[in-house]
Structure 1
Amino acid sequence: MKGDMSEKGELRAELLGARRLLSAEDVRETAAVLARHALELPELTDAGTVAAYVSVGREPGTRPLLDALRARGVRVLLPVLLADNDLDWGTYQGPGRLKPAGRGLLEPAGERLGPDAVVTADTVLLPGLAVDARGMRLGRGGGSYDRVLARLAAAGAHPALVVLLHANEVVARVPAEPHDHPVHAVVTPDGVSRFTGPSGPAGGE
């Protein structure tokens, strides 16, 4: 376990270092391409509710995708980070209804829907630093989305799990632990890759 944790830390540092080299123009261009690819996914085009997040810094950009989903009439849920690192949720009402939050994040203004609101989502966009050929995702290590995935499993909810990444962030192997969940699909500027697990769609446990 300790070896996996160390491996994860080293991989995180490497990928975050690569992100820091990206220019603001790189990030803007990538966000537009990611939105085009993502909007072709049935998991997003057919969804009534999508749990997403607002990208910040050099993360693969989500904002064009959020606006396109909202324009289509999709209910978009955005996370609100709580003091214990769990996530509450609010509804995305447009870029003018985002407000600064802790750790440089942006969160939706307006009503808080509670941590269990995520179980209503047809698709969940997960932030990440990498995905491997098995669909295993490397997060930032804060544990917030581990709680989200555990909450979905406890509720018997099986939304599609999708990650948006830069092209270099699809890697050969992500160190995995027993609680880690594989995802259904990854979207990069190069297109979409899908994954299946040993017993059906990835993330369907």
Structure 2
Amino acid sequence: MEGTGDGAEASAKTAAKTALRDQLLTARRRRPLAARLADATALRDQLLAAPELRVAPTVAAYVATPDEPGTGPLLDALHELGRRVLLPVLVGDGDLDWAAYAGPDALVARRFGLLEPTTPTLGPDAVATADVVVVPGLACDRRGNRLGRGGGSYDRALARVPRGTFTCVVLHDEEILDAVPTEAHDRPVTAALTPSGISRFPGPLAGP
């Protein structure tokens, strides 16, 4: 009976995640283009001002899709500052490899239309060398529990990041929620970056 209960609870969490994802994605798609452009600039400025970023020689980040908060201005600013920027490369099993960002002209559309670097890949463990790790998401709660799109790629990547690393999900202001449904494999983050600022969390990663 216990196994049956566990299965029902897992199914309920999965259903809750799916419903919340649909709601959040619908809201993102309705966001005006002018607001998206302004958000991308604000996100860049907020992260560049963060003390964690100022002392970070290596930053793991990503190229945002059209319905995600924009990361283009941030990537270009980091590149111009001479920071080593690692971008993900999706591999066959859904895991993430990493490669260095060499500018917008060194990106190519690959699986699912994702823009990925054309530079040599460095292996999935390369994310562990980053001093700051910036990841996508659809929402998070005030303890750093992150809701992704459901593929698990970034949960696997975050599992390789050393404890104490500044890990930050990029969101719109209204996507920081009181709670999000979580499962055992979900990996929390230490902060959320939004156009209005950076929220730092005391949650699960604060333990020994």
TM-score of the two chains, using structure 1 as the length reference: 0.92
What is the CA–CA distance in structure 2 between the aligned matches of 1:132 and 1:64, rounded to whole Å?
Answer: 26
Aligned-residue offset at 1:66: 0.7
**Which runs of 5 or more structure 1 residues have no equivalent in the other structure?**
none
> CA offsets per residue over residues 82-125 of structure 1, 9 Å max, x none?
11111111100111111111112100012111111111111110
What is the CA–CA distance in structure 1 between the aligned matches of 2:173 and 2:205, rounded to whole Å?
Answer: 28
Q: Report if aligned partners of 2:163, 2:205 keep a CA contact under 8 Å in 1.
A: no
2:148 to 139, 148, 155: 139
Between the aligned residues of both structures, percent identity stands at 52
Say if 2:80 is the partner of 1:74: no
What is the CA–CA distance in structure 2 between the aligned matches of 1:25 and 1:145, rounded to whole Å?
Answer: 29
> CA offsets per residue over residues 12-60 of structure 1, 9 Å max, x none?
0000000110122221111001111111112212111111000111200
Q: For 1:54-203, what aligned pairs fall within 5 Å after superposition?
A: 54-152=63-161, 156=162, 158-197=164-203, 200=206
Q: How many residues align?
A: 199
What is the CA–CA distance in structure 1 between the aligned matches of 2:134 and 2:17, rounded to whole Å?
Answer: 21
Aligned-residue offset at 1:164: 1.1
Larger radius of gyration: 2
Aligned-residue RMSD, C-alpha: 1.5
Q: Report if aligned partners of 2:61, 2:133 keep a CA contact under 8 Å in 1.
A: yes
Partner of 1:14: 23
Question: Aligned AA for 1:187?
Answer: L
Aligned-residue offset at 1:129: 0.2
**Which runs of 5 or more structure 2 residues have no equivalent in the other structure?**
1-9
Flag the 1:29–1:198 CA change in 2: closer, same or farther, 3 A. closer
TM-score of the two chains, using structure 2 as the length reference: 0.90
Flag the 1:78–1:6 CA change in 2: closer, same or farther, 3 A. same
Please say which of residues 71-80 and 19-28 is displaced more in the overlay.
19-28
2:18 match: secondary structure: helix
What is the CA–CA distance in structure 1 between the aligned matches of 2:205 and 2:160, rounded to whole Å?
Answer: 20
> CA offsets per residue over residues 140-178 of structure 1, 9 Å max, x none?
0011011112233xxx55421101111121112111112
Flag the 1:199–1:62 CA change in 2: closer, same or farther, 3 A. closer
Say if 2:36 is the partner of 1:30: no
Q: Report if aligned partners of 2:168, 2:190 keep a CA contact under 8 Å in 1.
A: yes
Q: Report if aligned partners of 2:63, 2:87 keep a CA contact under 8 Å in 1.
A: yes
